[in-house]
Structures are given as C-alpha cells and as structure tokens.
Amino acid sequence: MSFRKLGLGLAAATMLAGMALPAFAQDSVYVPLFTYRTGPFAGSGTHIADGMHDYLRMLNERDGGIGGVKLALEECETGYDTKKGVECYESVKGKNPVIVNPWSTGITLPLIPRASVDKIPILSMAYGLSASARGDIFPWVFNPPATYWDGLSMIVKYIGEKEGGLEKLKGKKIGFLHLDAAFGKEPIPLLQEMAKDIGFEVALYPVAAQDMQNQSSQWLSARRDRPDYMIMWGWGSMNGAAVKEAVRSGYPMDKFYSVWWPGEDDARAGGAGAKGFKMLNWHAVGTNFPAIQDIQKHVVDKGLSKAQKDKVGELLYNRGVYNSLLIAEGIAQAQKVTGKKVVTGEDVRRGMENIKLDPARLKELGLEGFTDQLVLSCSDHNGHRAAFMQEWDGTKWVKISKPIEPMTDRVKGQLEAAAKDYADKNAGWPKRSEACDKAS
Amino acid sequence: MDMLYKVFIEPFVFMGEAPDLLIQTLWEGLVSGVLYALIALGFVLIFKASGVFNFAQGIMVVFAALTLVGLYEKGVPAFLALILAVLVMLVLAIVVERVVLRPLVNQPDIILFMATFGLTYFLIGFGELIFGGNPKEMITDALFLPQGTTELDMLGGMVRFQHLDIAAAVIASIMIGLLAVFFSKTRIGRALRAVADSHKAALSVGISLNQIWVIVWFAAGIVALVAGIMWGARSGVSFSLQIIALKALPVLILGGFTSIPGAIIGGLIIGVGEKIGEFYWGPLVGGGVETWLAYVIALLFLLYRPQGLFGEKIIERI
C-alpha cells in the first residue's frame, strides 16, 4: 500500500470518527433524547418526543439555555426496541450526556447497572423499575413523580372508595389487561399481594406486542370472567385498540381504568362509546400556562417543532413537557449546588436529588398549577406523589377526583424488599458511595 | 388428576354450560379467520405466479390503508381516495416489477425472498416519512361501512354481532370469490396458472412474465387494501398491523402456499382454533396462548401433510 493511499485512508477514518462523535461546544450541556417516532408505539411516542424536545428548545430560544448554558439536544430513535435503545445509549455515552431518559421500561432495565459505572443518571419518569425509587440503593436512577406500584395502589384505592371502602373489594374480581412485556408485568407482584391481603380475585389478560391490535380474545375472556373492574397497563396502539374492543364487547366503560399512559387519540378511538373511560394523571392538559404558551411562541410558531399545532397541550405532549421540566430542573439545581455553569452527569445526579418543585418554583417557571409539588432527596428518588383520576367525556379528559395518595403502607414494604432483592441478585451491586448534599 | 380434568373435561363442560359464549367465540374466530385468509391470499397470489414468498405483504396492508386514510385526511373525498389508493397499489406493482423482480430474474428464490425483506423496510420508512408514525382511524361512515351491534338472545345467553364484522366477512368472501373466478375463468387467470406451472413453458407460448407479475402484485395490492380497511376499521391503522399479517404464515403452512381454497380454509381453521384455544385453554397457562397456538396447529398439520391441506405434493428426484 502506498503512503498516499494510507494517508487518504487515515484522513477518511479521522473524518468518519469525527462524524460519529460530533464535538459539542464546551459552553453547552449535551442532552440526548431517546424517542420513538416510528414503529408500533409511535402513536404514543411521537407526542411525548415533541413535548420533550419543544420545552428544552424553548429554553434555548427564550433564555439561551439554562443558566446561560445552551442545551445541545439530539434525538436517538429507539423504536421502543430494547436492543436499539441500548445501542442509542452506547452511541451517546461518549458524548458526555448529563442525563439519559430511555422512555421504555425494557430499555431502562439494562441501563440501570451501567448508570453508576458510566456516571450517567437515568431518568425513567413514572416508569421503569419501581424499586429504583430507593436512592440509597440506586443513586443513579430517578423515577419521579410516582412508581407503577404507586399508580396501581392509587387505582385500587379509588375503586375501593367507590365501593365504600377497601374491604368491600373482598370477593370482587379485578381484571388486569397488560402489555406482555417488562412494563406491563411490573405491577403484577403488588396486585397479587393486594389481592391476597384484601381478598379480591385477579384475572390477568396479557396482550403480546404482536397482538396489540387483535385483542378480541382478551375481551372475550373478560366476558367469560366478568371482572367487576378492568385495569389497563398498555402502551402504543394497544391502548386505542383496547378502548375500541371494550366498547365493542359491551364492557361498562365506567369500570375501565388505566394507568397514566393513554392519550386523547386512544380514547377517541372508541368513539362515543368510550365515554366514562378513566385514567390516572398528575399534570394538567391544555396550553393555558405561560411556559407552554412560550413553547408555542418561540418554537412551534417559528417552525422549530415537529409537533402538529393542535397536539400542543394534549395529554402526552404535556407529559413530554413534564419530563423535560425534570431534566431542566436537574440541570438548574446541579448548577446551583456545584456553582459550575457547564455541568456533568455526576453534577446532574446531585441536581436531581435537590429538585424542589414547589408552587413558588412552578410559578417562576411559568407552570403554576400545572402539577403538584415534587421534592426529591438522596434517599427518595421518586417523591411518591399523588395523582388524580380523569374521565373521558367523549371529547376531552375531565378531572373527576381530588389527589389520590398512593397506599404507601402497602407499597413501601414491597418496594424495599424488591430493592434489596435486586441488589442481592446482582452480585457485587455497589453500596452507595456518593455523598449526599446537605440540602437534600 | 385435577390438571387432566382441567384440560380434557372442564372446557367441554363449560362449552355446554355457556353455549352462547361458544357461539360468540366461534364467530370472533371466523371473522379473524376470514381476515387472516384475505392476507394469506395476497401471499398465495404472488407465490403462485413467481415462487416468491412476499414478506412485504404485511406492510402492503398497512401502506394501502395509510394511503387511503392519508388522502382522506388531506381532504380527498372517500371514494376518490379509495380509487387513488388502488392506483397507488398499481404503481407499486409496476415499480416492484421493474426495480425489484426484473433485475433478479433467474436468481435463486432465496434472493427474491430477501428482496421482499428489503421492500418491507423500504415501505416502512417511506410510509412513515409520508404519513408519520401516528395511528390513524379508518374511514367508516364515508365508505358506508356499517357500525353498531346486533345483540341476539340465544341459547340462554346473548351473542353480539358487530355490523362491521359482518360486513368484513361478507366483503372478504366476495373478494375471495371474485379472485377465484378471475384466476380460474379468465384468460389472465389461465396465463397465471401456466406461469405457476412452468415459467419456461409459459414464455414459450407467448405469455409475458413481466405482465403477469405486475397483475399479481396489483391483485395482491388490492387484497392488501381490503384487508387494511377491514382490520383498520376494527382496531385502527398503525404500523403494528403489519405484525398481524405474519399470522398468515401458519395459515399458509396449513393451507398450502399455492392454493386459494387452502388460504381460505387455513385462515378459518387458524382463526377459530386460536380463539377457542385462548378462550377455553388459555387460562390454564396464564393466557396469551393465541400468540403461538396458530404455529402449533400449523406444525401439527405439517407432520402429516408437509405440503399443507391443498398444496401441491412436491416430488423431487434425487
């Protein structure tokens, strides 16, 4: 090989390496956004991706970033596929991300052991491993504002109150329609434990990813079993198809509850018959907040967003905004506790442990009344905040309950046991060595 | 002993105790079966004419349905959108013949099969680029697809018949009938059968292979459009529909890759079999048997009839 060819080869290799690892300016912090705008789960993922991106982009456009530091945003398409999600993680970790949000329980699980090694905090907002709420065992993982187990306990509590008390659930049958994947199975141990304690029966209806749009068997089985209530843990096109099938099979919609993932499109899929369908939520829908109006002004109206204008302010869009609110607040707090402008993953981990989104702070951020307050700490990476029940009235979600606190007494023991079990099963799981800030 | 009772006795006792649920399960199975058959038919048409297992048939279902809904959302009247969607499938057939099939003539079947893999991923990307990844609602009222339910009190219970399901079964049956007549009674149909028997012999009597390929891919495109409309009306149009289309695989194993009646009978057996299996035996293993039961049924058939119920018996001299 001639030196000329060798030289050309080296130049090409250097150029390719440069393309693979784009340099982010030293005066910015790199925030990768794992999203899925393609594949079977895109129906949910697209709106969340838009909300996540647009809030952070708005901070760049309106304020020049956070604390005078621009955010370098980059999306990585996972397709809600665990393998691709891990590939995304591997491709971004060399660029010094300050936080990673996998947006899939399946992707979160393999990233948990890597987080402490790579010093990259993981934000799995109200999804992922419930036990990772324990900051003393999982210092690098955050799953606010409530775990799946909190969510399940809130639904059971609400149903119990409707019946006149939890004890009245004795002898009742609760159906659990879930995606047959890590996410959908996550609350089953708690459901079975509660069934044993309270005395209700559980009927499980798993929906395989390939049958998300072919659920007639599950709803036929529901007709056979006659569950008094149906609780859904679904995602992507499963939610809309489930609402449709529930209507088709004549299941009473006022007895059909879901965890916090269906969006307006999913409820609309059921037509007029979907009226009465209920789900948990912890934040507002709509655009009547200064921060969201700023998104419209600085991002959407300027053509810097991929979102359809009419989707801004819808439930899943605002969920994405909430996710980015946590990212932004983690960075802002990191700047505050370290005194640095350009923070690292280690700093943001500290920042997340110092999050205190009280009403005054929410007002300052232009999100007064958007959500309940959230305080995280060294030991509590979740907050275990209350959610409320909302009902589909045929055209929109209507809030129908006061905040429902999770049944901490029931969840706490399980959560601690699960966290300990995780650490025991993963030989060599490191003891927390990260110091706690006094503030947290 | 208890397990034996639950497997061999209890389900049948329950069938007797609640015959209305048995009828409902059979009906749901039949509707699913007809739709599986419709998808399988698309595979059979292409396999008969070219010996290619068209892996892209599933995404063609999604692509056709998205084209229809996408045009409608852009303000095109429903029936014009339907005609335009048919034309898009014709263009797709021509492009596939020119760009994929023609350059690969005389290549081994596995190469053509892999080419349909490529086509699948191209159509996924192209579809997402044009229509986005969001699920869409199928047009129903504007296409005069009936909504609503008829509830019949029978056998001591109640059976619900969705009007849409009845329409799906009727339209799919008419479609299958028309295709059967077209391919058995018309000149093009005879040409197709000649091509299926021997490419060389067909060429020697002046049948244009290229023309036949365009015709069968177009026919498969129309079948995909009808399947997309019906599945889409039942559960929405999204890219996850293409996975359902893979249910056609056990249907083909069962019915034979070259038989139109086989696709129909196979579809019905798989549709009814998986619903009955899930409903009566699923609870024994925690549910979810529907996902794999179709393949088990197909495998059992394979043990006794490797060519499927109606497939051509393969005799190879070695």
Provide DSSP, B150-179: EEEEETTEEEEEEHHHHHHHHHHHHHHHHH
A17-21, A107-111, B312-316: which is most confident: A107-111
Would you call B134 and A40 a contact, using CB atoms and an 8 Å cutoff? no
pLDDT at residue A439 in the model? 55
Percent of chain A with pLDDT over 90: 82
Q: Once rounded to an integer, what is the mean pLDDT over residues A60-88?
A: 96
Would you call B235 and A209 a contact, using CB atoms and an 8 Å cutoff? no
Q: Please report whether residue A77 resides in a domain.
A: yes
**Domain extent at residue A330:** 23-146+285-377
Q: Please report whether residue A416 resides in a domain.
A: no
Q: Please report whether residue A413 resides in a domain.
A: no
- CA-based nearest residue in chain A for residue B33: A214
Q: Which amino acid is at A112?
A: I
Partners of B150 in the β-ladder: B161
A267, A191: one domain:
yes
Pairing of strands A141-142, A70-77: unpaired
Chain A residues within an 8 Å CB radius of B141: none
Would you call A217 and B149 a contact, using CB atoms and an 8 Å cutoff? no
Pairing of strands A141-142, A388-392: unpaired
Give the residue among A397, A188, A155 at the shortest CA–CA distance from A258. Answer: A155
Q: Please report whether residue A1 resides in a domain.
A: no
Would you call B279 and A180 a contact, using CB atoms and an 8 Å cutoff? no
A275, A289: one domain:
no
By the 8 A CB rule, do A105 and A32 touch? Answer: no
User: Of B25, B133, B160, which is closest to A37 when you measure between CB atoms?
Assistant: B133
**Integer angstrom CA distances of residue A411 from A133, A149, A154, A232, A258:** 11, 7, 10, 19, 19
Percent of chain A with pLDDT over 70: 93
Please write the tens of the pLDDT for every residue from B266-285: 999 999 999 999 999 988 88
pLDDT at residue A9 in the model? 55
3-state DSSP call for residue A397? strand
A43, A122: one domain:
yes
pLDDT at residue A5 in the model? 56
Total residues found in chain A within this entry: 440
A8: pLDDT confidence band, cut at 50, 70 and 90? low
Q: In chain B, helix, strand, coil percent, each to 5?
A: 75, 5, 20
Q: How far is B66 from B232, CA to CA, in rounded Å? A: 9
- Please list the pLDDT of chain B residue by residue as tens digits (318 residues): 788 898 899 999 999 999 999 999 999 999 999 989 988 988 988 888 877 889 999 999 999 999 999 999 999 999 999 999 999 999 999 999 999 988 887 788 889 899 999 999 999 999 988 988 888 889 988 999 998 889 998 888 889 999 999 999 899 888 888 888 888 888 888 888 888 777 788 888 888 888 988 999 999 999 999 999 998 998 889 888 888 778 888 998 888 888 888 888 999 999 999 999 999 998 888 888 888 899 998 888 888 888 788 776 766 676
Q: Which segment of A1-5, A167-171, A419-423, B310-314 scores lowest on mean pLDDT?
A: A1-5
Q: Please report whether residue A102 resides in a domain.
A: yes
Considering chain A, what is the average pLDDT of its residues? 92
Helix (H) or strand (E) holding A392: strand A388-392
A414: pLDDT confidence band, cut at 50, 70 and 90? confident
Chain B residues within an 8 Å CB radius of A40: 238-240, 243
Q: What is the CATH number for A44?
A: 3.40.50.2300
Q: Please report whether residue A434 resides in a domain.
A: no
User: Of A38, A209, A241, which is closest to B133 when you measure between CB atoms?
Assistant: A38
By the 8 A CB rule, do B112 and B52 touch? Answer: yes
Please write the tens of the pLDDT for every residue from A120-158: 999 999 999 999 999 999 999 999 999 999 999 999 999
A176, A74: one domain:
no
Q: Which amino acid is at A190?
A: L
A131, A61: one domain:
yes
Q: Which segment of A6-15, A97-106, B169-178 scores lowest on mean pLDDT?
A: A6-15
pLDDT at residue B283 in the model? 87
Task: For chain A, list residues whose CB is within 8 angstroms of any CB belonging to chain B.
Answer: 36-40, 42-43, 45-46, 180, 204-218, 220-221, 223-224, 236-237, 240-241, 244-245, 248-250, 265, 268-269, 271
A274, A187: one domain:
yes
A273, A399: one domain:
yes
- pTM attached to this predicted model: 0.86
Q: Please report whether residue A231 resides in a domain.
A: yes
- In whole angstroms, how large is the CA radius of gyration of chain A? 22
Residue A110: is the preceding peptide bond cis (ω within 30°)? no
Would you call A217 and B290 a contact, using CB atoms and an 8 Å cutoff? yes
> Could you tell me the two tokens for A246?
């529930």
Q: Please report whether residue A383 resides in a domain.
A: no
The b/e string for A193-214 (b: 16+ C-beta within 10 A; e otherwise) is ebbeebebebbbbbbbbbbbbb
Q: Which segment of A34-38, A185-189, A195-199, B241-245 scores lowest on mean pLDDT?
A: B241-245
Q: How many CA atoms lie within 13 A of A348 on its CB side?
A: 30
A39, A106: one domain:
yes
A18: pLDDT confidence band, cut at 50, 70 and 90? very low
A219, A87: one domain:
no
Would you call B286 and A218 a contact, using CB atoms and an 8 Å cutoff? no
Q: What residues have CB less than 8 Å from A305, skipping those under 6 apart? A: A50, A53, A54, A57, A295, A299, A312
A404, A349: one domain:
no
A172, A297: one domain:
no
By the 8 A CB rule, do B92 and B101 touch? Answer: no
Please check whether residue B134 touches A, CB under 8 A: yes
Chain A residues within an 8 Å CB radius of B134: 42-43, 46, 265
pLDDT at residue A21 in the model? 45
Q: Which amino acid is at A160?
A: G
Chain CA centroid to CA A273, Å: 28
> Could you tell me the two tokens for B45?
């048409």
Q: Once rounded to an integer, what is the mean pLDDT over residues A180-198?
A: 93
Please report which residue ranges of B74-186 form alpha helices under DSSP H: 78-95, 109-131, 163-185
Work out how many CB contacts closer than 8 A connect A with B: 125
A191, A240: one domain:
yes
- Tally of domains in chain A: 2
Please check whether residue B246 touches A, CB under 8 A: yes
